[in-house]
Structure 1
Amino acid sequence: MNISSPLESGRLYASDVDDDGRAKRTGTWLTASAHIITAVIGCGVLSLAWAVAQMGWIAGPIILLVFSLVTWFASALQADCYRNPTTGKRHYTYREAVRAVKRAICFHRMGHQAGCHTHNNQFLIIFGILQLLMSQLPNFHKLSWLSIVAAAMSFGYSFIGIGLAIAKVAGGSNARTSFTGVEIGVDVTAAQKIWNIFTALGNMAFAYAFSMVLIEIQDTLKPNPPENVVMKKSISVGILITTFFYLLCGVMGYAAFGNDASGNFLTGFGFFEPYWLVALANIFIAVHLVGAYQVFVQPLFDFVETQCTTKWPESKFVNAEYPVKLPLYGSYTFNFLRFVWRTAYVILVTIVAMIFPFFNDIVGLIGAFSFWPLTIYFPIEMYIAQGNARKYSWRWISLQVLKYGCLIVSLVAVVSSVRGLVVGVQNLKPFQSVS
């Protein structure tokens, strides 16, 4: 019996597909861990020394660990929402899983007899907007090799940064540090101290941002063992490894540069010898970000292109595929929509980045703005919507406390980052890089 498949390759036999008729998934806990590490360890690690400097030796590492534990917990809840507990149906993307939240609210208000069918709603729009940091591969399932390379790059520049920091400390950096971080009246005013701490919270939240691609990563896994079991293992491995490097980068960076730690960890080694080692670390970062960019951008591409296909099913510009033979690659399927809109997107994001070179405030704003809805709110609501926490039970109450506590943290971080951007814009010189 032939089973139809959405893949361009045409028909597949039963042995070549999973229970949903799609091409057989081959991902393992190792490839999923590589995806997570690639998604998590990125430019966020560069701001952690500055973030620790705002809080000091005690609060800095503790709060970083708290973000690690909260992210691990919320991600484990989200992993359990990959399949519908009643039908066993898969959710292929984060936005599909989120629909469970809307339907649960509808059932609560209208009764279980209501249809409660959902369309593309405001949550999908928010999800699309929050992906505006990302560029391009055919689909998420072909990213395993790139994620492994990118994860190796992240280890590379983390080790180099940590090694340089240790060497600087061993050589007598005489950096001025304290238990409470930057000093009021010496480094900053009291108001600046508070605002900087709030921005640092956003920076730490950004450093752990990967929930928006967690479902997509989970959808690459083999169905046996169960995907949620394998995914939880991958989450634990990924977050444990990244937290280890984050603590080393944050703590050793603060030890090396003290209260004068810059927003970008590696810029502090600008005149450090051997210079080639610093250059190599920056090359590693560039290669890593290529992979991380792809991991994060796929949900956005899928969202836009799916909507276009649904709205204009007869359009050749949107749907027509043209096979092209490329040297050293083989057959590549060209599509005008993919080419035009992805190219325009990359150009737009690059121009925006050149106009607004506010590293810490941008990182803090993105982290704070996306942390609560994507990492906390939706995973908790999905978990509750699937009947895993009875209302007013201790588990339900604990989840509500966590949800609203994180909301407060995100709000103050957003306000602080916006304030930093407003202050920065006053002296803005577009397209001029300042180092």
Structure 2
Amino acid sequence: MAESRPNTEVDLNSWLPITASRKAKWWYSAFHCVTAMVGAGVLGLPLVLARLGWIPGIVAIAVAWLVTWYTVWLLIQLHESESGKRFDRFTELGQHAFGEYLGFWMVMPQQLIVQVGSDIVYMVTGGKSLQKSLALITPQADFRKTYYILMFAAIQLVLSQSPNFNSLKIVSLLAAVMSISYSFIATGASLWKGFGEHHVVHYGFRSTSTVKIVFDIFSSLGVLAFAFAGHSVALEIQATIPSSLGNPSKKPMAKGVTVAYLIVALCYFPVAISGFWAFGNLVEDDVLLSLEHPNWLISAANFMVFIHVIGSYQVFGMPIFDKIESTLVTKWHCTPGRPLRLVARSAYVVFTAFMAILLPFFGGLLGFFGGLAFASTSYIMPCAVWLKTQKPKPWSFHWILCWISMLIGITIMTLAPIGGAHEIIVSWKSYKLFQ
């Protein structure tokens, strides 16, 4: 039976998935952030080293880790105004800083591309990981990749009916545990491979021509941006934490993000270094696809990736569900309730599944989406809002860091989509639709 229709913004917030429950603990934010970041991004980091080289690659990952930690800290501080008003959604913060119309259109398209793009990539990742997992232990299960993506989508159709963000805490915790586990397995298996006999690999540039090398470097910038993707959902995660003037939500959220970033470092650097060391410039865009032995362990790791991206899909999907349902209720005058959620959320899952089947190019998608919008939400927008609202003095600490971060973001946003698009075009030439 449909619920009674809210008549005010406060009533609507009590029903929408982002703000319906504000009982989260600080550790909820920690594993939500781990689930949002570790995943498709970490598996592509060895390829970043293969395309950039040892020292430039490690420096690039370290800089991305430090800068994005700083920018997510900015968002956490900006979540609440001095009066205690909360900006529960990224678009609300943008409107506060730049005005209702301009702020909305500065933030909403970028955030939507990040979240929808992530879910499409997670559809691809989930399907590929399940396919690889089963192929290693049951070679006769040789189905098309499309079927595995459809299996992943079927699970998302069920989970998408979770009423609010906090109802995903068990799913997100399991996903975070899986991400840590398969990162350690990928590191251990890569080291085992590297210490094995006949370990002869090449560490030069993967591509042979200057043009291809340049395109690879561009695409790698997007993969790096994708690897630190929690900013687009940070405010929405913080919105689930209780807050008061005496005990603002920024304190527990900052603690959760600190733990998350330390976990990210423990996953990212070992996977990137060990994967590149073991396979050199021939490493796959998903390092687990390069690993074959022992079969049972690599199969388990791929299955862990499958479980993890189930949670990641929902973490990025919940803010989209919030936008869809809010629009349907306020603009289209639909009645909030289970029928609305069933139709709206199912339609979104079907759409992302179709796009994943149509464009299952993991590496190219990372680079393209990473550069197109992740650079903006992770590097540019938090600093732009901080400069606009806090007005730091020129050449002060935050002024300098904000401008450095924005320049990095603009560079990634300009170059990475070119490399990602090039990779998709090259892959498309040998691709058969719905293979």
Q: Does the pair score TM above 0.5?
A: yes
Equivalence map 1:12-411=2 (5 Å):
25-85=22-82, 87-103=83-99, 121=105, 123-132=107-116, 133-134=118-119, 136=160, 137-172=162-197, 174-178=199-203, 181-182=204-205, 187-223=207-243, 225-270=247-292, 272-273=293-294, 275-313=295-333, 318-321=334-337, 334-335=338-339, 337-390=340-393, 395-411=398-414
Q: Deviations over 1:28-78 (max 9, x none)?
A: 222211111011111111111111111222111111011001110110111
**Aligned equivalents of 1:172, 1:225: Cα separation in 2:** 58
Greater fraction of residues in helix: 2
Q: Deviations over 1:339-366 (max 9, x none)?
A: 1222122122112111212111101111
Question: Contact 2:375–2:410 (CA<8 Å) still a contact in 1?
Answer: yes
Identity of aligned residues (%): 30
Question: Contact 1:92–1:215 (CA<8 Å) still a contact in 2?
Answer: yes
| TM-score between both structures, scaled by the size of structure 2 | 0.81
AA of the residue aligned to 1:277: L
Q: Which has the larger radius of gyration?
A: 1
What does residue 109 of structure 1 align with? none
**Aligned equivalents of 1:431, 1:127: Cα separation in 2:** 28
AA of the residue aligned to 2:24: G
Unaligned runs of 5+ in 1: 11-21, 104-115, 322-333
Equivalence map 1:418-429=2 (5 Å):
418-429=421-432
Q: Deviations over 1:296-316 (max 9, x none)?
A: 111111111101111133xxx
**1:396, CA displacement in angstroms?**
2.6
**1:423, CA displacement in angstroms?**
2.5
AA of the residue aligned to 2:65: S
Question: Contact 2:325–2:344 (CA<8 Å) still a contact in 1?
Answer: no
Q: CA RMSD in A?
A: 2.4
| TM-score between both structures, scaled by the size of structure 1 | 0.81
**Aligned equivalents of 1:123, 1:31: Cα separation in 2:** 25
What does residue 151 of structure 2 align with? none
**Aligned equivalents of 1:119, 1:411: Cα separation in 2:** 22
Unaligned runs of 5+ in 2: 1-7, 120-155
User: Secondary structure in 1 aligned to 2:74?
Assistant: helix
**Aligned equivalents of 1:199, 1:160: Cα separation in 2:** 26
How has the CA–CA distance of structure 1 residues 411 and 282 changed in structure 2, closer, same or farther, with 3 Å as cutoff? same
**1:402, CA displacement in angstroms?**
2.6
1:412 and 2:415 are equivalent in the alignment:
yes
Question: Contact 2:24–2:240 (CA<8 Å) still a contact in 1?
Answer: yes
Comparing 386-395 with 192-201, greater Cα deviation is found at 386-395
Q: How many residues in Structure 1 have an aligned counterpart in Structure 2?
A: 381
**Aligned equivalents of 2:425, 2:78: Cα separation in 1:** 39
What does residue 144 of structure 2 align with? none
Question: Contact 1:175–1:259 (CA<8 Å) still a contact in 2?
Answer: no
**1:232, CA displacement in angstroms?**
2.0
Question: Contact 2:182–2:305 (CA<8 Å) still a contact in 1?
Answer: yes
How has the CA–CA distance of structure 1 residues 398 and 92 changed in structure 2, closer, same or farther, with 3 Å as cutoff? closer
AA of the residue aligned to 1:25: R
